[in-house]
Structure 1
Amino acid sequence: MSVSRTNLILVAGLGSAAMMLGALAFQYIGNMPPCKLCYWQRYPHILAIVIAVIGLFVPGRLWPLLGAGAALTTAAIGIYHTGVERKLWDGPSSCASNTVSGLSGSDLLAQIMSAPIVRCDEAPWELFTLSMASWNAIVSIALALVWLAAAKNRV
């Protein structure tokens, strides 16, 4: 039994949409603000959703291959973030910094005191000892495989 290219693209696009909805639920319902690396993992999912919409209407292998690239990009960022969380390597020095140009001393102090501290090297949630970044990497690799199946399937 062969699954159509359209259905595979739909599954991959909806997979990225589900990942984004999950991330937003953790952020707004679970009150877990994202760190810089968390944001970096979201951008390829957003791109994959856009690619899926285009790929549903435009034939060819380019769109599924681009979708696979987006999924592999967020997986790579998730693996990097997992390494930062597990203290295998350092994260970016700008992980929790905000722009401060043009602020007075009192405004800067107020911003610092009111800003949530979101560290890239601490996992706020885990399931089966895997953090959100780890789960993102696993799911995104699976989504990349779906994208590659769509690229292979001409139907």
Structure 2
Amino acid sequence: MKTLTRKQLVALAAGGSLALLLGAFFFQALGYAPCKMCLWQRWPHALAILVGAAYLGVKTRVLLWFGAIAAAITSGLGAYHTGVERDWWEGPTSCTGGGDALSGLTGGDLLPGSAVDVIVMCDEVVWQFLGLSMASYNFVFSALLAVIWIMAARKPA
């Protein structure tokens, strides 16, 4: 079996973040508005995509570690969000529970500059497949992407 080159691993990892980010936007286009924690999970994917693109021009190993950190952060956020959804622990009061901290706010107040009219609570699962929510899938797939970034960083040049 042929092993992947460092460049191929970077393309796989950055492409994986791109796929997850596009998937999130696709679900949003289908009417599944993101909650505050969902939006948090998108930023590290964007960073990982930028790191992958930067690596094409500046082939320095430190960038690969930044990609791994970005993937690990979004995976951790996905794990945290999953725990909030499953009531394993409390989440931010601004988007969980009875929404008492949200009384009188609109979606635009919660997410300034967005076109969101509905406030989506972070502790409610709006979509799931095989018992896993979008946050759970982000946790699992992003952890795999972090491993791929680490494999790329450890691979001899």
Normalising by structure 1, report the TM-score.
Answer: 0.86
SS in 2 for 1:64: helix
Higher RCO (CA-CA < 8 Å; seq separation 6+): 1
* 1:122 alignment counterpart: 124
Which ranges in structure 1 are unaligned for 5 or more consecutive residues? 98-104
Shift of 1:56: 1.9
* 1:68 alignment counterpart: 68
SS in 1 for 2:125: coil
**Identity within the alignment, %:** 45
Which ranges in structure 2 are unaligned for 5 or more consecutive residues? 110-115
Give the conservation status (yes or no) of the 8 Å contact 1:79–1:133: yes
* 1-structure distance, mates of 2:95, 2:133: 17
* 1:132 alignment counterpart: 134
Q: Please show how residues 4-83 of structure 1 align to structure 2 within 5 Å.
A: 4-28=5-29, 30-83=30-83
Alpha-carbon displacement from aligned partner over 1:81-113 (angstroms, at most 9, x marks no partner) = 00000011111112288xxxxxxx9xx78x78x
* 2-structure distance, mates of 1:95, 1:63: 34
* 1-structure distance, mates of 2:80, 2:122: 11
Normalising by structure 2, report the TM-score.
Answer: 0.84
Give the conservation status (yes or no) of the 8 Å contact 2:85–2:122: yes
Q: CA RMSD in A?
A: 2.2
Give the conservation status (yes or no) of the 8 Å contact 1:5–1:150: yes
- Partner amino acid, structure 2, of 1:46: A
Give the conservation status (yes or no) of the 8 Å contact 1:20–1:45: yes
